[in-house]
Structure 1
């Protein structure tokens, strides 16, 4: 996740998402922006490369529902290999001459495909998108991507576990510092449960945890951008950087209380969802995209929320009470190999998600997506989405780093894994991160 222009605009726009009255879901509006090819009666097959593996099944069900509404269009949902990069998978498919009709990319990857994908500026949903939703996919005045989801991440807590630990109704606003967090860990452990699980995947550590050290440098994203530029120029000494050290102090506390401390690199994504959902741990560092997996393990409680990741023991420091969130995944449409009929059918599918009641239901209630469109007024269907929306509504959100280089999470994530495994120290980690940025082209 990369650079965003203004947190205030996103906050205001997401407030609109939650309170503005519906603009209507007429069938006529769902066809705006789509060419006549999708309505010609000719059978068309289109494909979507999905890089959100946790909603693969729900997307396949949505494809069937879309086909029922549009019998001449068949949509096949392909999955990026588990743990794989959508940029690398899409690049490989282009190299093989067989790109999908639609590709779900991370924000920072859209520009790399700009010459191979459609200009979507003429689509109606551009006017209904929340503020800033298309800023980072717009080049020379043309928007090339559909903003698929708003996502946020931090410490997910199982309320039943934490309530028992604190001996009452847990108030997440009481956790404002690293010391507060560690005290909560100790309370959970004293209650007979494990405090938390750290998922060691490179994408979680490299694309989500460490970037808090970048975004937390300043509320003003222009200043964050300057910090990134200084990293590229080799002008930052991370070893003496207050935010980086504070974030890693918190990580040290996490490592000490990690249920997998004896084998910190052994865990997988599903393990975190299972441990949290079954109430074996109280806390898991992850994002709201994990709800389908968590809920699968919890058939009774289903009360969860987010805690921000503190970076100091001063409760007033920026980041200590803010949750990281942003418009994240984007869908683009191929123009290199797809036919005009396929392009029109793909546009129709995107419009179906935004304007048709059935499409909105899949997006919000079945995929647990926080939509990036102000005309969709359905409240978040799950407690994690509601928690994210609540932080945003209160002005307690921090911009996620949506435009990091495509290889950042692999390269820097590997360095974080070494630190997690105690195979390197903080000075080594800081140097490896600085060396990575100095080599970014």
Structure 2
């Protein structure tokens, strides 16, 4: 073999070995690298989830967490489109059992996920269906009458003395009598344009018979109207003393303008408004935000529950472990806890959480109530798909506009609920 031919052979052999070495190196560096997609339906906390993704990637260099956010009423349809297209996310935020049921064959059973042992018991049924835990509660939400402490103080009203419906009504009338002096546009800033708010308001009167069993609520063929008279009393109070016209009041304006600027004394909302208020003015919630319960039966208590649950899809087996690890980290890591509590202002749905870590009085109160043995969970997330937009929301709006009577409101809403339940899951 001549020298020229030998040199060519050696060069070829060197190239082959070099390519093999590079391929092996690339395989070693990327074979365990994954991108997991987290589908979020709460736009107001998108920056928080993005920060959590950044922190996780910092300590898990082979994992990239992609946050996809679609909300404001479009989340459910966007998520369904991703499943239909074959591009299902790895971790999904789901709104109640109707949505969990829709994807139950495409979600992992999370019974053995260690974090399940730490979740508040009253919240677990909201993620469980067909004998399997398919979702983990996102947080504890408290819902009641958010009131502006500064307005109450100026009006000479002590919220601690409001202990039943009669004293609540008296406080409303006192506020109205000082409406001009207090600079109020109305006592209430009920956002009548928002059917979702109407539904969560109505749940204060429709939830008691289910005793925190959200699966039972989801399977119920009828609504329980036992407290219809008390519900009508509250609605009539709102009709009389709300900012007019009530059907023009929208969610963002009710929180960011009317409530924040003291133009109304109360709005029917939950602790999810805290980040918005504190972004407008640091420390506003700690200083000026209080919450009164609805007095439905006897002594009132703020209802607490979780509107959202996190599930893991079974569409990508090679990434299931990564998704589980990230979910565990969300609930267990000191770094994630700091973002979730301080930035996103979630009240953690886990038992034995240190109250001192919660940054405002209302969050502490909601945690105490939500983890107590007498906690009461609202059921509005278990209503049939479309019920709030097609039935109870429009019907309540018709009543606000004096187009139907209260009896007609009840009859129409009940009939539509039954019809929707018949054609959907839950039976």
On whether the aligned pair clears a TM of 0.5, the verdict is yes
**Alpha carbons of structure 1 residues 182 and 403: separation in structure 2 relative to 1, 3 Å:** same
Judged with a 3 Å threshold, the aligned counterparts in structure 2 of structure 1 residues 221 and 131 are, in CA distance, closer, same or farther, namely closer
Counterpart for residue 231 of structure 1: 222
Alpha-carbon spacing, 1:425–1:46, altered in 2? closer, same or farther (3 Å)? same
One of 362, 366, 391 as aligned partner of 1:388: 366
* 2:17 matched residue in structure 1: none
The counterpart of 1:249, out of the listed 224, 227, 233, is 233
Match of 1:329 in 2: 308
Contact conserved, 1:50 with 1:80, CA < 8 A, in 2? yes
TM-score between the two structures when normalised by the length of structure 2: 0.80
> How big is each residue's C-alpha offset from its partner over 1:210-262, in whole Å with a ceiling of 9 and x where there is no partner?
1222124x484579959984627xxx7x5xx5x11211211110121112x2x
> Relative to total residues, which structure has the larger helix share, 1 or 2?
2
* 1:306–1:387 CA contact under 8 A, matched in 2: no
SS of the equivalent of 2:259 reads helix
Alignment partners' CA distance in 2, 1:391 and 1:437: 30
Give the alignment of 1:410-429 within 5 angstroms.
410-411=389-390, 412-429=392-409
Structure 1 residue ranges without an equivalent (≥5): 1-38, 312-316
- In structure 1, what is the equivalent of residue 90 of structure 2? 101
SS of residue paired to 2:376: strand
Q: Distance in 1 between matches of 2:282 and 2:395?
A: 37
Q: Is the 8 A contact 1:368 1:382 kept in 2?
A: no
Change (3 A) 1:128 1:395: closer
- The corresponding residue for 2:248 is 266
Cross-structure match for 1:20: none
Question: What secondary structure sits across from 1:197 in the alignment?
Answer: coil
Contact kept, 8 Å, 2:37 with 2:68, in 1: the verdict is yes
Give the count of matched residue pairs: 380
1:115 corresponding residue in structure 2: 105
Give the alignment's Cα RMSD to 1 decimal.
2.8
**Structure 1 Cα separation of the partners of residues 102 and 292 of structure 2:** 34
Secondary structure of 2:248 counterpart: coil
- Could you tell me how far 1:141 is from its partner in structure 2? 4.3
Q: Which residue of 2 aligns with 1:361?
A: 338
Instruction: Find the counterpart in structure 1 of residue 10 from structure 2.
Output: none
- Asked whether 1:176 is paired with 2:156, we answer no
Secondary structure of the residue aligned to 2:382 is coil
Helix, strand or coil at the partner of 2:247: coil
Matching residue of 2:291:
306
Q: How many Å apart are 1:95 and its aligned residue?
A: 1.5
The SS at the match of 1:211 is: helix
Q: Say yes or no: does 1:437 pair with 2:420.
A: no
User: In the TM superposition, what are the counterparts of 1:316-355 in structure 2 within 5 Å?
Assistant: 317-318=297-298, 320-336=299-315, 338-340=316-318, 342-355=319-332
In the TM superposition, what are the counterparts of 1:53-202 in structure 2 within 5 Å? Answer: 53-84=43-74, 86-108=75-97, 109-139=99-129, 141-166=131-156, 170-172=158-160, 174-189=161-176, 190=178, 191-194=181-184, 195-200=187-192, 201-202=194-195
- SS of the residue corresponding to residue 62 of structure 1 reads helix
Rounded to whole Å, the distance in 1 between the matches of 2:92 and 2:214 is: 32
Q: How do 1:199-210 residues align onto structure 2 when only pairs under 5 Å count?
A: 199-200=191-192, 201-206=194-199, 208-210=200-202
Per-residue CA deviation, residues 94-128 of structure 1 (Å, 9 max, x unaligned), is 12222222110122121221111112222211222
Using a 3 Å threshold, how does the CA distance of structure 1 residues 423 and 387 change in structure 2: closer, same or farther?
farther
Q: Deviations over 1:362-405 (max 9, x none)?
A: 22221111112226435432333223234447766422114222
* Partner in structure 1 of residue 280 of structure 2: 297
CA deviations 1:142-176 (Å, max 9, x no partner) are: 32112211112010011111111116xx333x223
Check conservation: 2:214, 2:382, Cα contact below 8 A.
Answer: no
5+ residue gaps, structure 2, are 1-28, 423-427
Aligned equivalents of 1:54 and 1:127: distance in 2? 28
User: TM-score when scaled to structure 1?
Assistant: 0.78
Query: Residues 228, 210 of structure 1: CA spacing in aligned structure 2 closer, same or farther, 3 A cutoff?
Result: farther
Structure 1 residue 139, shift from structure 2 partner: 4.2
Partner-residue secondary structure (3-state), 1:104: strand
Distance in 2 between the 1:140 and 1:227 partners? 12
SS at match of 1:210: helix
Render the CA deviation track for 1:4-62: whole Å, top value 9, x for unaligned: xxxxxxxxxxxxxxxxxxxxxxxxxxxxxxxxxxx987332222221222212222222
Is the Cα contact below 8 Å between 1:48 and 1:100 reproduced in 2?
A: yes
